[in-house]
Amino acid sequence: MPVTDLLERNHKLYGDEVALVELNPLMPETKKVGWKEYSLVQQTSPTPYRREITWSVFDEKANRVANMLLERGITKGDRVAILMFNCLEWLPIYFGILKTGAIAVPFNFRFTSEEIRYCVNLAEVHILIFGPEFVDRIEAIEDEIAKGRLLIYVGDHCPSFAESYRDLVADCSSQPPLVRLEEDDDAAIYFSSGTTGFPKAILHNHESLTQAAQMEQKHHLTSRDDVFLCIPPLYHTGAKFHWMGSLCAGSRAVLLTGTSPEIILDAVSKEKCTIVWLLVPWAQDILNALDRGDVKLEDYELSQWRLMHIGAQPVPPSLIKHWMEYFPHHQYDTNYGLSESTGPGCVHLGLENIRKVGAIGIPGYRWKCKIVDENGSPVPQGRVGELCVKGPGVMTCYYNDPKATAEVLKDGWLYTGDMAMQDEDGFYFLVDRKKDVIVSGGENIYPVQIENFLSAYPKVKDVAVIGLPDSRMGEITGAIISVKEGMECTEEEISEYCKELPRYKRPRKIIFAEVPRNATGKIEKPALRKKYGAECLVAQQNKS
């Protein structure tokens, strides 16, 4: 079934009910301004900017977008890119693209001009739809990317090098376009996170997208009474496909701008949210604010909040233990996935398995998993190997990159590049990224294990463990530690605490600094290795 069928069903069954709410506490309630004035908008307001649309309006807006694109010559298989912050226009544009049979290509809003140019060419984009925040970046490369491509601007005060989205869709029909879609039709290209260089273009078909929607609804028992709070960017598979549980259930979702504890709790309270997906840093910020007394739970109406789940990165068990002290009635789930597996859920803990916190879980709905050695042979339970997944959400290919595709897709199995192990109960535990494993004096050291250990120390806000070059050992273990606000911590404290670890796992170098994360919460370890690895080499050279 094409995923667009779910939207059309909701229009027919629940047309007058609210589908989406856009909530931006960081912007005044006045109309969003044009791109030249955007940076001058005040950052706080007593009344948040709020809009909403019903399922019927959602579907009709998607139809207008589809008919506009068809009038501009878009046909099945063409690529249409979206470069926008989360807003009420984002999902109708996405579904409008899908309704034409074209391929939707969401861009990371953190892309530089050079990355935008690279991805436009990599995905062979025909049309780029962008918002006011990106005008300067687009303008810098406009001469290169505008040749043979249409640039469509969503916002007020359209720049001269683009066409106005509002003008283009104004007179278009709100009736469904006459395009027949099949579940094996190409649907979307998502880009890998790019933490190891320029991103790859990951192609998915409609079956993948529909599978993600049905899986999310089943995993979290999403009903029409639920309200999902979506904070992460919609360009990423994590946010998009968690939201698709609401699409499958026909229930309301809130797109929230802002990640402070006060903003999140206020949105949950006022919008009556029942399901919230958090990244680890946001959950930790909420706990820290509660510990300090900066926020008080009694100031909010949170009794309806039933489920908190986390994904996109390993979750320290100590964080969840702490969370349940404040929210003992919460259901909890964690989700594992990759953009190559249509985002989160190919492995998930499950609402009933909180006793197994620390595991990424068991195979998700309609998924299979296995762990293999370097030769591709299955390893015994309890042994570490590479995690492989298989199911209807596996990507079709890396777009125009058969070599890279062949490296990770073998007999229908997706080789994830993540090291994992399975315990005697059948639960999978993520050990680390294959590329992040530290080899020190011939020993394999898995950073996630050390990060989980250090995260439990009361003064640690965030931590990243990386390998640093060493002339004798090959690599040594380095820990970059971000300390909680208002606290002081010393190397001696951390070293003393780490005596509980086996000697070979103890960090040899401790650095107090901020831990950089990308928009989906993943630690940017290549950047850390580049920065501190270079410093380490200079220090060794000076010593010699």
Tell me: the pLDDT tens digits for 446-494?
Answer: 788 888 889 889 999 999 998 888 766 678 899 999 999 889 999 999 9
Residue 305 has what DSSP assignment?
A: -
Q: Which of 467, 466, 441, 470 is nearest to 537 (CA)?
A: 470
User: What is the rounded distance in angstroms from the CA atom of residue 429 to the CA atom of residue 36?
Assistant: 48
133 and 210 Cβ atoms separated by less than 8 Å: no
The DSSP element (H or E) to which 542 belongs, if any, is helix 525-543
User: What is the rounded distance in angstroms from the CA atom of residue 447 to the CA atom of residue 501?
Assistant: 13
274 and 306 Cβ atoms separated by less than 8 Å: yes
Q: Residue 301, Cβ neighbours under 10 Å: how many?
A: 12
The pLDDT score that the predictor gives to residue 443 is 67
**pTM for the full model?**
0.82
83 and 116 Cβ atoms separated by less than 8 Å: yes
Instruction: Report angle CA 233, 343, 51 to the nearest 5 degrees.
Output: 30
Q: Which of 392, 396, 407, 409 is nearest to 346 (CA)?
A: 392
| Distance, CA of 300 to chain centre | 27
Q: Radius of gyration of the chain from Cα atoms? A: 24
Give me the residues paired with residue 331 across strands.
Answer: 307
The pLDDT score that the predictor gives to residue 135 is 95
Give me the residues paired with residue 338 across strands.
Answer: 343
User: What is the rounded distance in angstroms from the CA atom of residue 255 to the CA atom of residue 228?
Assistant: 9
Residue 10 has what DSSP assignment?
A: H
428 and 362 Cβ atoms separated by less than 8 Å: yes
Tell me the longest C-alpha to C-alpha distance in the chain.
74
Length of the chain: 544
The pLDDT score that the predictor gives to residue 537 is 66
Domains plus CATH for the chain? 4-30+52-206 (3.40.50.12780), 306-433 (2.30.38.10), 437-543 (3.30.300.30)
User: What is the rounded distance in angstroms from the CA atom of residue 464 to the CA atom of residue 523?
Assistant: 7
Question: In the 3-class helix/strand/coil scheme, how is 288-306 assigned residue by residue?
Answer: HHHHHCCCCHHHCCCCCCC
Query: What values do phi and psi take at 460, rounded to 5?
Result: -90, 120
The three-state secondary structure class of 527 is helix
The three-state secondary structure class of 36 is coil
| Distance, CA of 256 to chain centre | 15
User: What is the rounded distance in angstroms from the CA atom of residue 3 to the CA atom of residue 97?
Assistant: 12
The DSSP bridge pattern shows strands 428-433 and 413-422 to be: antiparallel
The pLDDT score that the predictor gives to residue 317 is 85
260 and 28 Cβ atoms separated by less than 8 Å: no
Structure tokens at 60: 């009709």
Q: Give every residue of the chain whose pLDDT is below 70, as ranges.
A: 27-48, 193-198, 312-314, 432-434, 441-443, 471-473, 519-521, 537-544
